[in-house]
Amino acid sequence: MPPNAPTPPAPPPLVRPNDRPALAGIAAGVAAVLLGCILYWLLLTDTYRHQVNDIEHQTQLRATQTSQALLAQVESLMTGLDVVAQKLAVDYENQTPASFDKAAQTVVAAYPPGAILQISVVGKTGQVLYSTLPSSPGHPTNIADREHFRVHADGGPGTLFISKPVLGRLSHQWSIQLSRPMHRNGAFDGVVVISLSPGHISNFFRSVFGSGNDVVVLLRQDGSFLARSKDEDEVMGKTAPQRNYLQLKDQSQGSYEVAARTDGIVRYYAWTRARAYPLIVNVGLDKEAALAGVRQTIRTGRLRNLVGTAAVLAGTLAIAWLLLFRLRAKAQLRAKDERLHKLVTQVPGAIYQYRLDPDGSSCFPYASPGIADIYELDPAELAVSAARVFERIHPDDLAQVSASIGASAQHLTPWDDKYRVTTNLGGIRWLHGFAQPERQPDGSILWHGYLHDITAEHTIQQALQESEERLRLTLDAVQDGLWEWDSAQGTLHWDRRCYELLGYPDQAFPMGLGAFFDLVHPLDLERCRIDQAQHLAPGQIYRTEFRLRRADGDWLWVESRGQLLSRSEHRPARMLGTLSDISERVTQAQVRRALLDQSAAAIFLATPDRRISHANARALELFAPDDQTLVGRSFRTLHPDDASFAAFSAHYQTLRQAGSIRLEWCLRDNRGQLRWFSARGSLLDEDAPNGNVIWTLLDTDAQHRAMDALALARQRLTAIIEQFPGGVLVEDQGEQRIIIANQAFCALSGTGTTPQELVGRPHAELAAQLPTGLLAPPASDEDAPTDAVEWEWSLADGRSLAVERITLQGAGAPIGLFWFIRDISEHKRRETALAALAATDPLTGLANRRTFMARMHDELSEQRRGRDEPSVLVMLDLDHFKRVNDTYGHAAGDQVLQHLAGLMQADLRRDDLAGRLGGEEFAILLSRCDLEGGSVLAERLRADLERTPVNTDAGPVHVTASLGITLLRPPVDSPEDCLARADAAQYEAKHRGRNRVVVWTTTMGVASNRSAQPQAEAEALPAP
């Protein structure tokens, strides 16, 4: 500094004594804001905690309500099955086996497929007596060890029992066994079991919840899993973890939260205990999914409040900082006002002060002259009231502006907003305003800010955004690659999509013109260079097609398009373009050209005035004169005469309305001959019905003439088969479609149609309409090496039909099938009556001796073929029957025999057979039965006969019988051997006092030497 230089004035002190109250106020304001933020966050955190608690409570409530609703459905299902089980138990005791089987099958069909796996009846020993599932021959099923049998066999309750899921021995599937006991004379006699599929219940649960991690579980009281909507296979046969609700037997419902052992997912569980059955429905709702919404809301709220709090604190600090400097600026403000006024008049836009009073009124205490250009209002008027400014603001933006001013005033944060105003002429002007607020001592808020017109900027920005959005959507839609060539830098850049088109990863190798031309197919390289050179003129669009070598060595057809963007010293400098995969388009074009010229059909393109504009090779071969073209010629040259050409024109109206047409037409070929063609016309452009038409002509001349001959032959054949004494049907060999049928076939088979309606229908469709098996020969006949197969079929209405199928031959190969049907109902009725008379005893209706012996022979043969189950023969002889005839007469004796036959039939099973061998001697063959079971049946029959008097015309008659039992012993036995042993046991019963059952032993010998051993040892069932 020069020695004589004046000393600069000292800067004013940062804080004057009279500014200390203001500083204290600033510090207090900042502290108040900080305290307010802390209190706000404490309240906000508590609010979020309450929201989570509310959602958890609602989720538990929803789980409880869902559990109760699902339990009601499960109880309804169990109640219905309980009623079914009770009815089946009664039906099994009172109905015939066939009727009971029909009832059981009806129950299975009444439920959804797969819901009921089987219905079975189990005897008191655990042996399965009946099942809707087929049993394995030679392997009787015993379930005496099963829980659902033991609970009833051991004297358990007489109500429905629900078992743990078990793997069925007949069904081989997991099932829930629902069992009900059967009783005979007050004693346990077996159970009726309904096997319910756990999957049926699980599918119902899944239909309620669908996808997701929510789960429904059906449990027994002991915790055994019965069904689960998720991962059912992992829990079958297992027990649920021991929770409190499994021990709280007197509590009907409850809830808890736990992570499942099967998948580790934490859920809110709600369980409900059934009242009528030992069942629990437990519904688990995924905790994460239930709270996902509120947690996302909390995260979003915390982020927004954090940003707001940061803004408040930043604004507070900024205001405090400004207030500090404002204290010093007051002295300088007045001096700067004049300079500022001069400056702001030159600034585009307006600088202003805006004040908001506590009563809600507002004004602009200061505004630069530019505000008149922006709002088209007088600044002096605005200094009194700002109401006119708010009238100028666009109605759609008024609420936004008012809200932003209110937020700025409330938090003293900078005001920054973009909005629209309307001009006096009704135009729209976009404005951008920024202002810094400060609170005045009188409670008003004063903003200092800047306002300028951004209409042009907004328009440009909006257009740019729309353009960028269109470009982005276009590129995403077409899946094109982008390239950029900079000739000045000598670089060629490909984006990721360009590399992907050739099967390379992004930037797999440096790209340049040399590398690019190395990828071009040798046959396309020269053309590609020429196209590039020709399109470098200013403003020209570069577009060419060529092949590029892929990473796997194959060639890819692409289309490259580009445009010159800039030039440097009259030379191209920068070019931008796209690369598109056109392999499919090129392939389709090549295929179309090949198909068009190699087609067996003649193809024309016709103009609206019916002239030929294009014809393929087949069309030229058929219609073009030698070495001449068809292009430009009228279609009249193809028609035989003017009348044909005019008649064909009438079809054009239909073609233009429907878009296509198909018809048969006769045209003249290039040799002058008339030929039939199948013509199909289609509009080239469906949106231009009056435009060009594509005609496709197939030569059907031979077919057309053959059809005429075939129609004549069909008329003759129809007249012939209508005279046949039976039903006739003819089918072709290939598609097995019906060629012809007569009225007799329709009447006999019951098609309900006319012969004409059957023609053309496939064999399978007709067979499905007719009684099952009518047109299906037996398997043994199907494989017979003969061209003719004949079988008989019985219809539901009692009619019997003889069906004959003959394979028609032509040139040594089958050409079709001939079916002939005759009604043989009367003949079958006579046959059936004669067979019944020959096989049964006329008095008792039981099998006669010949029939019984034949059945015994079949039973022994079946056992010799390897059947494991034994069979039992029971011989029965009435005691002192001669006295009955002598005392009451032979008519009463016949009634006694008939009464005995009725008792025998009532006690027999479906496969058993009772027969009268002669006089008062009867026999019973018990198939698949051991000695114990045979003895039980024989004793029951003996007791029934003893305690049941026979009501005859001569009065009640009491009779008893002696019964002998023996096992059938293949392979050494014959029917006569078995009868001899049973007769020996029966003789022993009479020898011991009659009215008893005796099982044959080896010590008895046979009937031929029974007199030599009167004291033979035997097993006897003493009479009661």
The string of pLDDT tens digits covering residues 604-636 is: 889 999 999 888 888 888 888 887 888 888 988
Q: Which of 651-671 are b and which e, b meaning 16 or more Cβ less than 10 Å from the residue's Cβ? A: ebeebbeeeebeeebebbbbe
Which CATH number applies to 479-566+576-586?
3.30.450.20
CA 317 to chain centre: 63
Pairing label, strands 961-967, 997-999: parallel
738 has a pLDDT exceeding 90: no
Structure tokens at 325: 């400097």
305 has a pLDDT exceeding 80: yes
The pLDDT of 407-413, averaged and rounded, is 93
> pLDDT at position 823, please?
81
235 has a pLDDT exceeding 70: yes
pLDDT class for 18, splitting at 50, 70, 90?
A: low
The pLDDT of 987-1012, averaged and rounded, is 80
414 has a pLDDT exceeding 90: yes
Q: What percent of the chain has pLDDT over 90?
A: 27
Which CATH number is 117-196's, of 3.30.450.20, 3.40.50.720, 2.30.30.90, 1.10.10.10? 3.30.450.20
Class of CATH domain 839-1003: alpha beta
pTM: 0.35
> pLDDT at position 98, please?
87
pLDDT class for 468, splitting at 50, 70, 90?
A: low
Whether residue 822 contacts residue 802, with contact meaning beta carbons closer than 8 Å, is answered with: yes
> pLDDT at position 60, please?
85
> pLDDT at position 121, please?
93
Least confident of 381-385, 443-447, 637-641, 719-723: 719-723
The Cα-based distances of 264 to 57, 116, 260, 261 in angstroms read 22, 32, 5, 5
The pLDDT of 273-287, averaged and rounded, is 88
> pLDDT at position 476, please?
62
pLDDT class for 406, splitting at 50, 70, 90?
A: very high
What residue segments make up the domains of the chain, in order of their start?
Answer: 48-115+198-304, 117-196, 362-457, 479-566+576-586, 599-706, 725-774+787-823, 839-1003
φ and ψ of 239, to 5 deg: -115, 140
> pLDDT at position 722, please?
73
Burial of 501 (0-12, 13-18, 19+ CB in 10 A): buried
Other beta carbons within 10 angstroms of residue 474's beta carbon come to 11
Domain 725-774+787-823 in the same topology as domain 362-457 = yes
Least confident of 89-98, 270-279, 569-578, 839-848: 569-578
The phi-psi region of residue 832 (left if phi > 0; otherwise alpha if psi is between -120 and 50; otherwise beta) is: alpha
pLDDT class for 1008, splitting at 50, 70, 90?
A: low
Spatial CB neighbours of 957, under 8 Å, sequence gap ≥ 6? 884, 888, 892, 895, 896, 949, 950
Structure tokens at 725: 């004494």
**What CATH topology corresponds to 48-115+198-304?**
Beta-Lactamase (3.30.450)
Torsion angle (degrees, nearest 10) of CA 608, 609, 611, 614: -20
Rounded CA gap, 934 and 967, in Å? 9
3-state SS class at 871: coil
- Greater confidence (876 vs 538) lies with 876
Long-range contacts for 927-932 (Cβ within 8 Å, ≥24 apart)?
Answer: 927/859, 927/869, 927/871, 928/869, 928/870, 928/871, 929/869, 929/870, 929/871, 929/872, 930/870, 930/872, 930/967, 931/870, 931/872, 931/965, 931/967, 931/999
Rounded CA gap, 912 and 874, in Å? 11
Average pLDDT, the chain: 84
Q: What are the tens digits of pLDDT across the range 39-87? A: 989 988 988 888 888 888 888 888 898 888 888 889 888 888 988 988 8
φ and ψ of 609, to 5 deg: -90, 20
- Greater confidence (992 vs 628) lies with 992
What are the counts of helices (DSSP H) followed by strands (DSSP E) for the chain?
A: 30, 38
Least confident of 123-127, 783-787, 850-854, 905-909: 783-787
3-state SS class at 487: coil
998 has a pLDDT exceeding 60: yes
Q: What are the tens digits of pLDDT across the range 324-347? A: 777 666 656 555 666 666 666 666
Which residues are bridge partners to 634 per DSSP?
Answer: 611
The Cα-based distances of 523 to 470, 542, 555 in angstroms read 37, 20, 12
Q: Does domain 362-457 have CATH number 3.30.420.10?
A: no
15 has a pLDDT exceeding 70: no
The secondary element (H helix, E strand) that includes residue 886 is helix 881-888
Continuous H helices in 607-754: 617-623, 642-649, 651-658, 701-721, 743-749
> pLDDT at position 533, please?
74
**Residue entry with tokens 């009772």:** 914
Domain spanning 599-706, CATH architecture: 2-Layer Sandwich (3.30)
The phi-psi region of residue 883 (left if phi > 0; otherwise alpha if psi is between -120 and 50; otherwise beta) is: alpha
Nearest to 102 by CA among 176, 110, 124: 110
> pLDDT at position 964, please?
96
Q: What's the residue count for the chain?
A: 1024
**What CATH topology corresponds to 725-774+787-823?**
Beta-Lactamase (3.30.450)
- Greater confidence (25 vs 944) lies with 944
Whether residue 84 contacts residue 107, with contact meaning beta carbons closer than 8 Å, is answered with: yes
